[in-house]
Amino acid sequence: MITPAPDSSPGIPGRRDVRIEAHGERVVPWRQSQKGGQREDRMLRQVTVSLPPRISDYSPDLPPSVAAQTDKALTAITRLDSTHGQHLASLAVLLLRAESVASSKIEHVEASMEDFARASHGTKSNASATSMVASAEALASLISSVDDGGPISLDNILDAHRILMVEDPYETPYAGRLRDMQNWIGGSDYSPRNALYVPPPDETVEAYMVDLLEFANRDDVPALAQAAIAHAQFESIHPFTDGNGRIGRALINTILRRREVTSRIVVPLASALVARKETYFEVLAAYREGDAGPIIQAFARAAEISTHESEASAQRLADLPELWTAQYTEAAGRPPRADSAARRILDLLPTTPFFTTEEMEDVVGGATSSVYGAIEKLASAGILRPLTNRKRKQVWCASAIIDELEDLGERVAQKTATDPVWRNIQSQVIADLLRYDQAKWANLSDVLARAELSAPMREAIDVARLSESARMALVDSIRIPDTVRANLDRLGASGAIQEAIEATLITKSVRDALVDSATVPNSIQRSIDQWSDLSDSLVRSTRLPDSVRRSLDNLLSQSPTKTAASTEPAPGQVSEG
């Protein structure tokens, strides 16, 4: 467990830890289902999986400083959701698209808003933009599923995932399905070897999701803390073969909608998270180590910054109709008539920022020539701009709205990147994780040292040096976490222990040849028990995800006295798995 440090940083006074049970680990058998990769991938026989706690009845104890942060963020959200009158519909459209675009960018799915607009009208040449459109549709689907006051259901989450992934050429067979295989984040493409994080086994996923949804549908947990914890738990479960990050972030706004924190808008949290991806992954790591405080604080600050900038965008949207009328008047020499096609198009633009000519003709009605002529006049005035060059189904966009959408994301990212509160959250999380990491390695060394002093363990070490049949009997009892096996020298393990651990690695051919071997002698059974005890002790002592360990190792190699505020995330951390 992380021992929280006394806080002395500005912006986050007092105790800020929110205790939750740390994730456990289990070493389980592994075998490739499809051959590939290096020999190490093909020979991998076991993997350490993470086991999140059950949270259905968890009630977070928010210290005053964290509660004050969440209250401030909720006030900002409800103010944004309830103000701006007639312009709120256009703001809701803008924010939903902003959140979907930013959430996709966290996964390295990059495309411009113009690409997004084209893809939303059938242009599939840009795969990233098509993926962003699917993300927006999935987000809208999941949020709207609770608009009638109903609970968040597993079926609705599966529906959103189906919308997200159904057009993906690789993931279509798994769209809308909980995974039925072991997945992992980072490391090799062919096995969980050197993975940054390995979620719980696939057979546990449905039960974990049922438990998570019980928590997400409660009404007695502070709403923003509930959304943050549910998101962190979802990412730890990683219930899908792909798309976990985007669905997990859609869950945040779905909880806020169900709890009636919002009624119409989407809070563009991802616009802040994309600017602080390294901190985002570090607060997720802190959650897995037993402290939900950092991710609650991070989400509260992200909400506060993004809603503040969204209010500025709302005001700009409110000013657009007058600006457009002035632009049109200057270009045409007179304002648009009240019943003209140009006037009707201008009135529709706030909620329909991009469209095809045919779509606008259907909505506006009247003569085709009038609609086409109005679009041309609006384009000449700089209000509209074409996004395609085709004669049929020409895609147009409202330049000011597209530009505002891009600008909103950039403003939120810039404010977040330079925000001192975010820097404080990150440095404190790293300090806590670093202390835990140091304690973990010390504890592992102690476990190995005590094991070697034990007479039964010495007997087990001797047995490991014996025949292939003895090794065969021992191998299934030894579930040494990868991080331990790879760091035996660092842990000060003696040559005898290292030799015994390596001796238990047995090839498939030897295993197959000995599968029908005789009953295990009592002496070997005692050795199996000792190895099992040692393995369990080592697993209990290695909860820190490899992604964090590697980041900390990089930090320490750069400067032992430097804080980790500027540490970059380890490669592969952003993968959705």
| DSSP of 153-209 | -HHHHHHHHHHHHTT-TTTGGGTT----S---BSS-SSSSTT-SB----GGGHHHHH
Q: Over 80: is that where the pLDDT of 304 sits?
A: yes
CA atoms within 13 A on the CB side of 327: 20
Q: Over 80: is that where the pLDDT of 483 sits?
A: no
pLDDT category at 341 given cuts 50, 70, 90 is very high
- What mean pLDDT value characterizes the chain? 83
Q: Over 60: is that where the pLDDT of 565 sits?
A: no
The full 3-state SS of 78-89, as one line of letters, equals HHHHHCCHHHHH
Identify the weakest region by mean pLDDT among 79-88, 327-336, 461-470. Answer: 461-470
pLDDT at 532 (0 to 100): 76
- Residue 155, C-beta contacts closer than 8 angstroms, at least 6 positions apart: none
Which tens digit of pLDDT belongs to each residue from 489-519?
888 888 888 877 776 665 555 455 544 445 5
Could you tell me where in the chain the CATH 1.10.3290.10 domains are found? 24-292
- Identify the residue with better confidence: 466 or 19: 19
- What is the arithmetic mean of pLDDT over 471-479? 65
- Identify the residue with better confidence: 499 or 185: 185
- Longest distance between any two alpha carbons in the chain, whole Å: 100
Which residue is listed with tokens 């700009």?
A: 316
Measured in degrees and rounded to the nearest 5, phi and psi for residue 117 equal: -65, -45
pLDDT at 14 (0 to 100): 56
Measured in degrees and rounded to the nearest 5, phi and psi for residue 9 equal: -90, 145
Report the alpha-carbon distance of residue 196 to residue 184 in Å, rounded: 8
Q: Over 90: is that where the pLDDT of 283 sits?
A: yes
pLDDT at 47 (0 to 100): 85
Q: Which DSSP state fits 268?
A: -
Which tens digit of pLDDT belongs to each residue from 361-389?
998 888 889 999 999 999 999 999 998 88
- What is the arithmetic mean of pLDDT over 311-335? 92
- Identify the residue with better confidence: 53 or 25: 53
pLDDT at 87 (0 to 100): 66
Q: What's the CATH number of domain 24-292, 1.10.3290.10, 1.10.287.3510, 1.20.1560.10, 3.10.580.10?
A: 1.10.3290.10
Report the alpha-carbon distance of residue 542 to residue 482 in Å, rounded: 10
- Residue 468, C-beta contacts closer than 8 angstroms, at least 6 positions apart: 506, 510, 514
Report the alpha-carbon distance of residue 568 to residue 564 in Å, rounded: 9
pLDDT category at 10 given cuts 50, 70, 90 is very low
CA atoms within 13 A on the CB side of 210: 4
- What is the arithmetic mean of pLDDT over 265-292? 91
Based on DSSP, count helices (H) and strands (E) in the chain, helices before strands: 24, 5
pLDDT at 198 (0 to 100): 92
Q: Over 50: is that where the pLDDT of 77 sits?
A: yes
The full 3-state SS of 458-487, as one line of letters, equals HHHHHHHCCCHHHHHHHHCCCCCCHHHHCC
pLDDT at 12 (0 to 100): 44
- What is the arithmetic mean of pLDDT over 530-545? 71
CATH for 313-413? 1.10.10.10
Q: Which of 141-145, 439-443, 499-503 has the highest mean pLDDT?
A: 141-145
pLDDT at 3 (0 to 100): 39
- What is the arithmetic mean of pLDDT over 468-474? 67
- What is the arithmetic mean of pLDDT over 31-38? 85
Which residue is listed with tokens 């895609």?
A: 395
Compute how many other C-beta atoms are within 10 angstroms of the C-beta atom of residue 204. 14
pLDDT category at 201 given cuts 50, 70, 90 is very high
As to burial, measured by CB atoms within 10 angstroms (0-12 exposed, 13-18 middle, 19+ buried), residue 518 is exposed
Residue closest to 213 by CA, chosen among 238, 230, 236, 232: 230
Report the alpha-carbon distance of residue 25 to residue 50 in Å, rounded: 5
Residue closest to 291 by CA, chosen among 22, 6, 7, 573: 22
pLDDT at 574 (0 to 100): 34
pLDDT category at 572 given cuts 50, 70, 90 is very low
Could you tell me where in the chain the CATH 1.10.10.10 domains are found? 313-413
Report the alpha-carbon distance of residue 107 to residue 277 in Å, rounded: 10
Report the alpha-carbon distance of residue 55 to residue 229 in Å, rounded: 9
The pLDDT > 90 percentage for the chain reads 42
Amino acid at 298: A
The size of the chain, in residues, is 577
pLDDT category at 1 given cuts 50, 70, 90 is very low
Report the alpha-carbon distance of residue 277 to residue 283 in Å, rounded: 10
Rounded alpha-carbon distances, angstroms, from residue 394 to 13, 157, 348, 385, 519: 55, 34, 17, 11, 77
Amino acid at 431: A
